[in-house]
A and B are shown apart, each in its own frame.
Chain A
Amino acid sequence: MMNMLIRKIIQGFLLGMLFVSNLSASETYWLSDIAPTKEQAKKMRPSHGGLVIRGRDGYIKKLWLRKGNEILNSSYVSQSEMPLVLVTPESQQSEIVFGNKAFADVSFKMPEEGFYNLFLIDRQIKDGVLQESVIKNESLNHSCRTGHDHTKEKMPPLYFDGVTFDLVRERLPRETFHTHMGSGDIINYRVMLNGKPVGGASVTMVTHKGWSKTVKTNPEGRASFEMIRDYYPAWHEFKKRNMETFLVIAEYHSVDGGVYEGENYEGVHYKATSAGNYYPSTRDYASYAYGLLIGLFGLTASIFFIYFHRKRRAGVYKEKRLA
């Protein structure tokens, strides 16, 4: 029911949009919360949902439009007039635009707890093929100050039928608002076409340092990746909160032809991107062996302490003689 409502709202929005594309159909675009300059990076603070700006009324998410299919080598787009659709955790939608001061950046307040979804959709015909790009960002807003009673119901991923081609991240087992994705985790994405899972779509995972892997979705539209470890600092420089970015790119080609803005096309090439953050695995810095050793030490030391304490108290009575 909720999905139907969202679908109608977004469809209405998208139909009303005037697509003035300044994106190149052959390039990969994505939204990133990593600031392009040191000055801007200083304003960003870590939160449960990645980097944010801490405002007086709560967290503000700031994202930059980037071009390229490698994290470290992707450039920041300087300007974009394209509108974006923001869907709040309570399914309220609104149109927002890029700031375009020095870079194409977009900011939005996050007054509600849960996942905010931002979409930038571009359509253009190139060589007789409709190129449809969906640039998506899913950002979590959570503050422990607001409690945790409501968090479970807001965990499931939202499927937006209204977005023709969607890339949806499924949750990790036992994922909560406090969970950080880490190296070694298996992460699943579902690719949806017109609200239905699509099999055979190609999905590529690109990690921070540039490792990439491409898989095809199964009939349920699911693609799985194990996050690899690509953080190998010297031990004294190791940071467990070291945040790295990964990029997921889904592509699917459909042979269905049609007409777009009066122009015929023979097929549609769908492309969706979504970026996320991951951290070192707890296995990199947590030790059961030392934990149990120290626990065992505490246990043994306590036993000895009690044993000798009791022995001392139950000492043999010795008569004292006055001189």
Chain B
Amino acid sequence: MLKTVKDFVNHGDLRRFRFWLQLLLFILFIYGGYAAIQLGDNLPTFSCTYVDGKPGTCFLVPLQHRMVTTPEKLFSYAGMAILTGLFYFTLWFLVFNKAWCGYACPLGTIQDWITALRKKLGFQYVTYSWEQFKKLKKIKYALLLLLIFIPMGIGSGIFSHDMGVPFCMICPARTILPIFSGDFSQLTIDFSSKTKMIMTSLGMLITGIFLVGAFVKKRFFCFFCPMSALHYLLSKPALLKLKKDGSKCTKCGDCYSVCDMQIKDIADDVESRNILRDDCIMCFKCVSACPEEGALEVDFMGQPIFEATVQGYIKRMQKGNKSG
């Protein structure tokens, strides 16, 4: 019985499963609030606070809000509020690890849909060179630091209160996701102050770049996402893991060629058991593309739930050939 279930999963069509799960979670994170679903304010994904029907709020919003305080308060009750939020965020995160990015994030799903459109239109995608990759991947950590220190600067009176939630101001989720519930109000420039004008202009500029970027580069924004950086800092004790058995790897490079995030280690590193890297979105396309029995596997609490198999690989390849 267990073997039948295992075979069903290992030989299954991950692409179709992911498409439907992403669609379902997209609906949940855009319209769930209308169905009275409430998941709290500390979600480890872009459940955008600007969306009217949100079922909960992205953790980066309360984090930025709570950091708007003086250093004295930060080390007293305000610090407690931040720690409490971080605790709930960690609880959510520990279960699904970075699969929040690959399966749940509505902005990630939109990028996948834009990629699908590009494929249909027959445009070639772009990739970063290794040098570019190494430089660009640091941006998300810089953004994470800025979204912590700018609110502290607001609290200390260094920056204007109009900076508000600085990352949200430039995040394309703020401008794009509310459109799905009929709210276009975030597509405006706020002229009420210089700071607001600059921040909202930057937000719209990044939205334009995002749309083109996501069209030509798979998961374009995830590369710069500070939520992804925060995830990686907490990913070690997570229950869901991506593991590699280097002794079974032939370095064929199939896993690297399907990776939306261009993670080289997935093919090159034959030493590490835990192969999760900071840019990984845990989409598990690498596992489904691996032709070596047991070379890559997805574990939940130490139990393999999806692993690379020869039969699964052949089945998926045949399906891929049929569908063109």
* Bound pair (A, B): yes
CA–CA, A285 and B211, complex, Å: 26
CA–CA, A147 and B188, complex, Å: 27
Residues of A within 8 A of B213 (CB): 302
Instruction: Choose among B78, B201, B208 the residue that contacts A145 (Cβ–Cβ < 8 A).
Output: B78
- Taking CB as reference atom, which chain B residue is nearest A303? B212
Instruction: Choose among A145, A294, A298, A306 the residue that contacts B189 (Cβ–Cβ < 8 A).
Output: A294
Known contacts A144-B62, A145-B81, A147-B41; decide if A302 and B189 are in contact (CB<8 Å): no
CA–CA, A174 and B193, complex, Å: 26
Q: Assess the B209–A145 pair: CB atoms within 8 A.
A: no
CA–CA, A226 and B184, complex, Å: 23
CA–CA, A287 and B185, complex, Å: 9
CA–CA, A294 and B185, complex, Å: 15
Interface size class of A (residues with CB under 8 A): 20 to 34
Q: Assess the B188–A286 pair: CB atoms within 8 A.
A: yes
CA–CA, A309 and B140, complex, Å: 24
Residues of B within 8 A of A282 (CB): 185, 188
Known contacts A148-B41, A287-B188, A288-B184; decide if A299 and B52 are in contact (CB<8 Å): no
**Is B65 part of the binding interface, using a Cβ–Cβ cutoff of 8 Å?**
yes
- Taking CB as reference atom, which chain A residue is nearest B210? A298
Q: Assess the B65–A144 pair: CB atoms within 8 A.
A: yes
CA–CA, A291 and B191, complex, Å: 11
Instruction: Choose among B41, B57, B66, B200 the residue that contacts A291 (Cβ–Cβ < 8 A).
Output: B200
Known contacts A145-B81, A149-B38, A291-B187; decide if A238 and B205 are in contact (CB<8 Å): no
Q: Assess the B191–A295 pair: CB atoms within 8 A.
A: no
Per-residue CB contact flags for chain A residues 97-137 toward chain B (1 = under 8 Å, else 0) read: 00000000000000000000000000000000000000000
Q: Assess the A294–B204 pair: CB atoms within 8 A.
A: yes
Known contacts A149-B41, A240-B192, A306-B126; decide if A286 and B208 are in contact (CB<8 Å): no
B261-318, CB < 8 A from A: none
CA–CA, A240 and B195, complex, Å: 13
**Is B206 part of the binding interface, using a Cβ–Cβ cutoff of 8 Å?**
yes
Q: Assess the B57–A285 pair: CB atoms within 8 A.
A: no
CA–CA, A62 and B192, complex, Å: 29
CA–CA, A131 and B273, complex, Å: 83
- Taking CB as reference atom, which chain A residue is nearest B212? A302
Q: How close is A303's CB to chain B, nearest CB, in angstroms?
A: 6
CA–CA, A115 and B52, complex, Å: 21
Q: Assess the B66–A299 pair: CB atoms within 8 A.
A: no
Q: Assess the B65–A287 pair: CB atoms within 8 A.
A: no
Instruction: Choose among A285, A286, A297 the residue that contacts B205 (Cβ–Cβ < 8 A).
Output: A297
Known contacts A144-B65, A149-B40, A288-B184; decide if A302 and B191 are in contact (CB<8 Å): no
Q: How close is B177's CB to chain A, nearest CB, in angstroms?
A: 15
B residues contacting A by CB (< 8 A) are 38, 40-41, 52, 57, 62, 65-66, 78, 81, 126, 175, 184-185, 187-193, 200-201, 204-209, 211-213, 216
A sample of 22 cross-chain residue pairs with beta-carbon separation below 8 angstroms, ordered by A number, consists of: A144-B66, A145-B65, A145-B66, A145-B78, A148-B41, A148-B57, A149-B38, A282-B185, A285-B190, A286-B191, A287-B191, A290-B201, A291-B188, A291-B200, A294-B189, A295-B187, A298-B206, A298-B207, A298-B212, A302-B211, A302-B213, A306-B126
CB-CB nearest 4 A-B residue pairs: A298-B208, A302-B212, A240-B192, A299-B208
